[in-house]
Chains A and B, each alone.
Chain A
Amino acid sequence: MSKVVTLKAFFEEARAGRLTGIRCGRCGEIAIPPKEFCPACQERAWEPVPLDGHGTIASFTVIRVPPRGRAEEAPYAVAVVKLNEGVSLLGRILDIPLDALKVGMPVRFRPLLREEQTVVAFGPP
Chain B
Amino acid sequence: MRRVAVIGVGVTKFGKHERTCAELFAEAAADAIQDAGVSPRAIQALYYGNVVGGEGDRQLHMGPLAASVLGIPTIPTTRFETACATSHAAFRHAVMEIAAGVSDVVLVGGAERVLNLPTDAATEYFAYASDATFEQPAGITFPGVFALVARAHMAKYGTTEEQMAHVAVKNHRHGALNPKAQFQKEITLEQVMKSAKVADPLKLYDCCPFTDGGAAVVIVSEEVARRSRKPVWILGSAAASDSMFLHEKKDLSRVLATERAAQAAYRQAGRGPQDVDVVELHDCFTIAEIVATEGLGFFEPGTGGIAAEKGWTGLGGKLPVNPSGGLKAKGHPIGATGAAQVAEIVTQLRREAGPRQVDGAKVGLVHTLGGNTATVLVSLLSSE
List of A residues within 8 angstroms of B140 by Cβ? 63, 78, 90
* Best-surrounded residue of A58, A60, A61 (most CB of chain B within 10 A): A61
A41 to chain B, nearest CB (A): 16
Nearest A-chain residue to B203, judged by Cβ: A64
Specify which of B138, B198, B243 is in contact with A92 (CB 8 Å cutoff): B138
Known A59-B151, A80-B247, A90-B134: A65·B252 in contact at CB below 8 Å: no
19 pairs, A vs B, C-beta closer than 8 Å: A32-B247, A32-B248, A59-B149, A61-B202, A63-B139, A63-B140, A63-B144, A63-B199, A64-B196, A65-B119, A65-B123, A67-B127, A67-B136, A68-B124, A80-B148, A90-B140, A90-B246, A91-B134, A103-B152
A5 CB–B CB distance under 8 Å: no
| B247/A68 in contact, CB under 8 A | no
B359 CB–A CB distance under 8 Å: no
A100 CB–B CB distance under 8 Å: no
| B155/A59 in contact, CB under 8 A | yes
Total contacts A-B at CB 8 Å? 107
B360 CB–A CB distance under 8 Å: no
B121 CB–A CB distance under 8 Å: yes
Known A7-B133, A61-B144: A68·B120 in contact at CB below 8 Å: yes
B208 to chain A, nearest CB (A): 14
List of B residues within 8 angstroms of A70 by Cβ? 139
A124 CB–B CB distance under 8 Å: no
Known A64-B199, A66-B139, A66-B141: A89·B134 in contact at CB below 8 Å: yes
| B138/A119 in contact, CB under 8 A | yes
B321 CB–A CB distance under 8 Å: no
List of B residues within 8 angstroms of A92 by Cβ? 138-139
Indicate with 1 or 0, residue by residue over B135-171, a CB within 8 angstroms of chain A CB atoms: 1111111011001110110010000000000000000
List of A residues within 8 angstroms of B152 by Cβ? 58-59, 103
Known A32-B245, A80-B247: A61·B120 in contact at CB below 8 Å: no
Q: Which of A63-104 contact B (CB under 8 A)?
A: 63-71, 73, 76, 78, 80, 87-92, 103
Expressed in whole angstroms, the Cα–Cα distance for A68 and B198 within the complex equals 15
B310 CB–A CB distance under 8 Å: no
Q: Which of B93-121 contact A (CB under 8 A)?
A: 118-121
List of B residues within 8 angstroms of A87 by Cβ? 247
| B138/A90 in contact, CB under 8 A | yes
| B147/A61 in contact, CB under 8 A | yes
A62 CB–B CB distance under 8 Å: yes
| A62/B252 in contact, CB under 8 A | no
Known A59-B151, A103-B155: A65·B141 in contact at CB below 8 Å: yes
B197 CB–A CB distance under 8 Å: yes
Expressed in whole angstroms, the Cα–Cα distance for A91 and B124 within the complex equals 18
Known A76-B139, A119-B137: A67·B197 in contact at CB below 8 Å: no
List of A residues within 8 angstroms of B245 by Cβ? 32, 90
